Amino acid sequence: MNDFCAYSFSFGEVAPTIDEVLDFLQSSDLEEEHPAVTFVRDTLNELNFDTAIRGGYVLKDINFPDPKTGLLQVDNMTLNLGRQVCGYIKEANQAAFFLCTAGEGFTQMANRLNEQGDIMEAYIMDAIGSLTVEKAMDKIQGALKTQVGKNGLKISNRYSPGYCNWPLSDQKTLFDLIGENTTGISLTDSCLMIPRKSVSGVIGIGQELKHHDYGCAICNNATCIYRKIIARTESHDL
């Protein structure tokens, strides 16, 4: 179970919609003629990344010595997931350790716009990159759910180092567990991923796995993409 199950997408396959981008930017009430709306529309129509959006996962057997300690043992390595994430996947006996990237293009374009003084456009481009990698990972997670579902297994939500109180420093162990892969993602000394628009983490797998909502109400990370998306979704349901 050490082979990396790889996926690649064109931008058209994982592109966010105009409404999703504006919702993420908390700008869904802007008029059609607003410059931000025009920029989002034109950018989504013009972007064409066919090879840089890549991701995948490796499947591993896992063991929780004691979920209350927040530790997970895999391949003679130990991940410090924390009690919160361990509590969410404690019924799992397997896990998919994943990587996914939208590539360097979004960051390069955002940097170029910043250098030109186009701050609003740079911010929007950065947001499009964030949503693109998450939507690519949604597809990969959906494929995983279908695959394991054939064997009567369930999957958890996905969780990433730096979120849900899982220390970012665990990126090093996570990358060691995943090993050689096709994404081209690397780590800096401070455990940040390059390309910047990349995600990594774990998805629990098991027959007795229970679904748990994301614990945004008890999380301290105000910049989390999941918090932003969930908060906006809930506001529309009120």
Give the chain's domains with CATH numbers: 5-237 (3.40.109.40)
Beta-sheet strands, E only, within the chain: 5-9, 53-61, 71-74, 77-80, 94-101, 154-159, 186-187, 193-194, 198-206
d(CA 62, CA 158): 15
Q: For residue 219, what pLDDT band results from cuts at 50, 70 and 90?
A: low
pLDDT of 66 higher than 60? yes
Q: For residue 226, what pLDDT band results from cuts at 50, 70 and 90?
A: low
* pLDDT for 235: 44
Interval 72-98 mean pLDDT? 93
* pLDDT for 30: 86
pLDDT of 51 higher than 70? no
Q: For residue 238, what pLDDT band results from cuts at 50, 70 and 90?
A: very low
pLDDT of 236 higher than 50? no
d(CA 103, CA 117): 23
DSSP letter (8 states) at residue 63: B
Predicted TM-score of the model (pTM) = 0.88
Interval 3-30 mean pLDDT? 92
* pLDDT for 211: 72
Contacts of 175 (CB under 8 A, 6+ apart): 99, 187, 200
pLDDT of 221 higher than 80? no
**How far does CA 181 lie from the centroid of its chain?**
17
Which of the residue ranges 28-37, 60-69, 170-179 has the most confident prediction, judged by mean pLDDT? 170-179
Q: What's the mean pLDDT when you consider all of the chain?
A: 88
pLDDT of 188 higher than 50? yes
**DSSP bridge pairs for 94:** 61, 205
pLDDT of 81 higher than 90? yes
Q: Which residue has the higher pLDDT, 166 or 68?
A: 166
pLDDT of 84 higher than 80? yes
Q: What is the number of other CB atoms lying within 10 angstroms of the CB of residue 91?
A: 17
* pLDDT for 233: 44
- The residue whose two tokens read 């693109």 is 132
d(CA 28, CA 23): 5
Q: For residue 237, what pLDDT band results from cuts at 50, 70 and 90?
A: very low
* pLDDT for 218: 47
pLDDT in tens, 136-150: 999 999 999 999 999
* pLDDT for 227: 53
Interval 109-134 mean pLDDT? 94
Coil, strand or helix: which one is 3?
A: coil
Tokens, residue 121: 């456009």
